[in-house]
Structure 1
Amino acid sequence: MSPARQHRERFANAAKPDHAHPIVAAPQGEGGQEPLPVTAIVAASPARLHALRHAALAAIEDPAALDPGAGDGPDAQIMLRLVHDMRRLKAIQSIEKKIEAKREMLPAYRDWVMARLRVSAETGKAVADEVIPTIMVWLIDVGEYRGALELAEHMLLHDLPMPARYQRTTAALVAEEIATAAIKAQAAGQCFDLGILYATESLTADADMHDQIRAKLYKAIGQETALGAEALLSAEDQPRALAKALDALRRAHQLDDRVGVTGRIRKLEKQLEAATPPPPADPASTQDA
Structure 2
Amino acid sequence: MSGSIFRRHVIRMSAEKDAQQRDPVTQTGTAYTQMTLMMNADRRRLKRIQSFERKASVKREILPNYAPWVAGILASGKGQQDDVTMRVMLWRIDAGDYHGALDIGEYALRYNLNMPEKHTRTTGCAIAEEIADQAEKQYIAKSPIPLDVLTRTMALTLDEDMPDQVRANLYKWLGYAQRDNNQPQPATCSWLRALELNERVGVKQDLKQLEKYLEKQQQTNTASQDEPPR
TM-score range, shorter chain: 0.7 to 0.9
Could you tell me which of 31, 37, 46 is aligned with 1:89? Answer: 46
Question: Helix, strand or coil for the counterpart of 1:63?
Answer: coil
> Which aligned pairs between 1:81-120 and structure 2 lie closer than 5 A?
81-120=38-77
Kept after mapping to 2: 8 A contact 1:59/1:66: no
Kept after mapping to 2: 8 A contact 1:186/1:224: no
Which residue in 2 is equivalent to 1:267? 209
Which residue in 1 is equivalent to 2:91? 138
- CA distance in 2: counterparts of 1:215 and 1:103, whole angstroms: 29
Deviation at 1:56, TM superposition (A): 3.1
Q: Please list every run of 5 or more consecutive structure 1 residues that lacks an aligned counterpart in the other structure.
A: 1-43, 230-240, 284-289
Deviation at 1:183, TM superposition (A): 2.2
Kept after mapping to 2: 8 A contact 1:225/1:245: yes
| Structure 1 position 174 matched with structure 2 position 127 | yes
| Structure 1 position 246 matched with structure 2 position 188 | yes
RMSD: 2.3
Q: Please list every run of 5 or more consecutive structure 2 residues that lacks an aligned counterpart in the other structure.
A: none
Q: What's the CA shift string for 1:196-219, capped at 9, x where partnerless? A: 000000011110111111101110
Q: TM-score, normalised by structure 2?
A: 0.87
Q: TM-score, normalised by structure 1?
A: 0.70
Q: What's the CA shift string for 1:114-148, capped at 9, x where partnerless? A: 1111111xxxx221021011000000001100000
Kept after mapping to 2: 8 A contact 1:49/1:115: no
- CA distance in 1: counterparts of 2:11 and 2:141, whole angstroms: 46
Q: Give the structure with the higher percent helix.
A: 2
| Structure 1 position 126 matched with structure 2 position 83 | no
The 1:248–1:45 alpha-carbon spacing in structure 2 relative to 1, beyond 3 Å, is same
- CA distance in 2: counterparts of 1:152 and 1:59, whole angstroms: 17
- Of stretches 208-217 and 166-175 in structure 1, the one that deviates more from structure 2 is 166-175
Aligned residues: 221
Could you tell me which of 215, 222, 230 is aligned with 1:278? Answer: 222
> Which aligned pairs between 1:1-289 and structure 2 lie closer than 5 A?
45=5, 48-49=8-9, 52-54=12-14, 56-63=16-23, 66-67=27-28, 73-120=30-77, 125-229=78-182, 241-276=183-218, 277-278=221-222, 280-281=225-226
2:168 aligned partner, one-letter code: A
- CA distance in 2: counterparts of 1:258 and 1:250, whole angstroms: 12
Instruction: Using the aligned pairs only, state the percent identity.
Output: 37
Higher gyration radius (CA): 1
The 1:112–1:266 alpha-carbon spacing in structure 2 relative to 1, beyond 3 Å, is same
1:60 aligned partner, one-letter code: Q
The 1:86–1:200 alpha-carbon spacing in structure 2 relative to 1, beyond 3 Å, is same
Q: Which is bigger in relative contact order (C-alpha 8 A, separation at least 6)? A: 1
1:112 aligned partner, one-letter code: W
- CA distance in 2: counterparts of 1:178 and 1:126, whole angstroms: 23
The 1:111–1:251 alpha-carbon spacing in structure 2 relative to 1, beyond 3 Å, is same
Question: Helix, strand or coil for the counterpart of 2:118?
Answer: helix
- CA distance in 2: counterparts of 1:86 and 1:47, whole angstroms: 22
